[in-house]
Amino acid sequence: MDGKSNPTKGGGVSPGTRLAELVKRNRAVIVFGVFILLLPLWAEHIYKGISIDILFIMRLVGVFTIAAVGLNLLMGYAGQVSLGQGAFFGIGAYTSALLTVRAGFPVWLGIALAIAISAAFGLLVAPVLRLKGHYLAMATLGLAIIVFVFLREMTWLTFGNDGVRNIPELALPFTHITGFDLPFIKEKLQRPELYFQFYFIWVVAIVVLALCANLVRSRVGRSMRALHQSEVAAEAMGVNVSAQKIKVFVLSAALGGLAGGIYANLQGYIDPNMFSITLSISILTMVVIGGMESIWGAVAGAAVITFLPKFVEAIPKWVGDAPKWLERYSNYEGIVFGLILILTMVFMPSGITRGLSDMFRYRRSPFMNPFRRKAVE
Amino acid sequence: MMQAGDVLSGDARDDLLAAKDLTKTFGGLAAVKNVSFSVSAKAIKAIIGPNGAGKTTLYDLLTGIYLPDEGNVLFQGREIVGLATHEITALGVARTFQTIRLFTGMTVMENVMVGLHHRTKTGFVKSALRVPSGLREEAWMREESLRILDIVGLEMQAESLAGSLPFGQQRLLEVARALATAPRVLLLDEPASGLNAYETRELGGIIYRIRDMGVTVILVEHDMGLVMRISDEVLVLDYGEIIAEGTPEEVSADARVIEAYLGSEID
């Protein structure tokens, strides 16, 4: 998972060994891929029992995973804190929605252009990267607000608060080949379109995860981590720090746009309020609780944040009559997210993924005690 | 404005790195004032001076971190003032930092591999797709970084986290990381500070080895024993100005140097 294989291993290995190496290197992707492939088998069975439509929600987890992994490259690896990922998500969603609804573009082209437009917007605003630390966080927060206001107020283009309706469903260019139209599959599955969306999103998400995992273990990934720790030193080592930051920012924006584009076609309806700063903060929370500098943390973070409200919603169905405050959960969801964010920062600063893997690997508690007196300092 | 012919003519051509009338003021205070010096290839030159004499500022001017108010810097006869730090590094001027600036969360080997950044070229797309040329380059980077770590004697620690190394080894890793950029000139900023006598002696050997590899070494250092033992030439700065320059023997006999270091004698 961390690619710290024996440094002396070089070329000149047999194809068998190479395959073994490939499997070993990608074991996380493979294990996770199999998990996703088989998930519908059990998820559909326990759906009725626990009143949580796992398959349905997992589609959203996949979408947010893509956005979160993009932000994690920027924030976790390159150290550039951004509160603007929701803006790129929103731009991607609106690009895809408007192009498919207003211009009649095919869905795949809408999503492709969602990536392109978000990336272009990222490039346009990239000069904010000259700011550092809190200033950058504030500037990107401003960006998120500006984009939100534009989406709401440019009614001639975006329909404003009415939102965009009847966005075409996710579909591949040649749907008939995918087999989901075949009658026997339709008989077998109660919800074929849900299966299609689930697998479509997760194939995209897993490809993105695998590519990002490769990226962070490469020369480029090292330069990102280096400039995170010392821009002066990275620059002195020959890394073009400002160019590298811009590239990561644009990549992060592109992934936000991809997630947004898929999201619009998944939901069929979008309005500006879905892309307010709350979204940016949710994505940021996903990255932090999943784990900074962790590609798989994006999955864990997206899963926790997306499942949490559905879980709370389901509680009344398990216990019969639940207390009133539980039913009003959505009103104070922001507080809960904030609390989770604070507790994670204090007790598990490296995130769930790192915390749990350390627990298994080194048999130590995943929690930190920040109040313990340190021997030094 | 200097003509290209001027730049290439005269002694500038033989010198690897030359500073001409460098001046840098901070809020009216001259940190570096009219400093001119040059180093020829494969020399070890020490820059000494009391604290606040402008030594680190001089390094920052040479490596493009600061722009000088006046003067210029020639590297291999080419003016490098105005180039970005990473461009100057790519040309062949590398440095270490007085306050250690390692990438502490990365392994020793990864630190050195960052130093190989400008000598390699696998970009975002090729890295994400793990194309064969990128993998070959990665394998080369690993071999090369081990070779460089061997020079400073850290190859056994290749997989340790840089931040977990003892202080003396962190200094050596800074040197290794700078060496990875394949410099023609290596600027060391107080490499011996915080080292014990044994480590300092080792460092002297390493600096000789680096010089023998064909790298010119400029050394800002307070450890006079080390400076006098290994340098070919010594430059003394005080209040941003050069007060003496010459062989270690000449400089240590210079009255102004003694005054700067020990204060003037009481009449």
Three-state SS annotation for chain A: CCCCCCCCCCCCCCHHHHHHHHHHHCHHHHHHHHHHHHHHHHHHHHHHHHCCCHHHHHHHHHHHHHHHHHHHHHHHHCCCCCCCHHHHHHHHHHHHHHHHHCCCCCHHHHHHHHHHHHHHHHHHHHHHHHCCHHHHHHHHHHHHHHHHHHHHHCHHHHCHHHCECCCCCCCCCCHHHHCCCCHHHHHHCCCHHHHHHHHHHHHHHHHHHHHHHHHHCCHHHHHHHHHHHCHHHHHHCCCCHHHHHHHHHHHHHHHHHHHHHHHHHHHCCECHHHHCHHHHHHHHHHHHHHCCCCHHHHHHHHHHHHHHHHHHHHHHHHHCCCCHHHHCHHHHHHHHHHHHHHHHHHHCCCHHHHHHHHHHHHCCCCCCCCCCCCCCC
Q: Are A35 and A219 in contact (CB under 8 A)?
A: no
Domain ranges of chain A: 24-362
Nearest Cα residue in chain B from A7:
B142
Q: For position A313, what pLDDT does the model report?
A: 81
Of B114, B129, B134, the CB nearest to A223: B114
Domain with CATH 3.40.50.300 in chain B: 1-92+183-267
The reply to whether A10 touches chain B by the CB within 8 Å rule is yes
Q: What is the mean pLDDT of residues A246-267?
A: 97
pLDDT at position A351:
86
A22 pLDDT higher than 50: yes
> What pLDDT score does A25 carry?
82
Identify which of A219, A233, A251 has the shortest CB distance to residue B103: A233
Q: What fold is seen in the domain A24-362? A: ABC transporter involved in vitamin B12 uptake, BtuC (1.10.3470)
Indicate yes or no: CB of B122 within 8 angstroms of CB of A218: yes
Pairing mode, strands B15-26 and B29-40? antiparallel
Q: Give the pLDDT of residue B257.
A: 86
Fold of B1-92+183-267: Rossmann fold (3.40.50)
- Proportion of chain A above pLDDT 70, given as a percent: 90
Of the partner residues B109, B127, B143, the one whose CB lies closest to the CB of residue A219: B127
Can you list the residues of chain B whose pLDDT is less than 50? 1-13, 267
Neighbouring C-alpha atoms within 13 Å toward the C-beta of B101: 23
pLDDT exceeds cutoff 80 at A376: no
Distance between CA atoms of residues B80 and B71, nearest Å: 11
Cα–Cα separations (whole angstroms), residue B198 to A223, B48, B167, B219: 34, 22, 13, 19
Q: Which of B84, B104, B123 sits opposite A229 (nearest CB)?
A: B104
pLDDT at A45: 77
Q: Are A256 and A92 in contact (CB under 8 A)?
A: yes
Residue A27 banded pLDDT, cuts 50, 70, 90:
confident
Q: Looking up tokens 């270091």, which residue turns up?
A: B261
How many angstroms away from the CA of A225 is the closest CA of chain B?
8
| Residue in chain B nearest A250 by alpha carbon | B124
pLDDT at position B266 is 54
Is B129 near chain A, with CB under 8 Å?
yes
Bigger pLDDT: B48 or A49? Answer: B48
pLDDT at A165 over 80: yes
Per-residue pLDDT, B10: 42
Greater model confidence, A109 or A1: A109
The residue among A217, A202, A87, A73 whose CA lies nearest residue A141 is A87
Asked if residues B91 and A175 have their Cβ atoms less than 8 Å apart, the reply is no
Average pLDDT over residues A307-324: 81
Q: What is the ipTM of this complex?
A: 0.90
Q: Could you tell me which chain B residue has the CA closest to the CA of A228?
A: B103
A104 in contact with chain B, both atoms CB, cutoff 8 A? no
Residues of chain B with Cβ-Cβ distance to A3 below 8 Å are: none
Chain A positions touching B134 (Cβ under 8 A) are 218-219
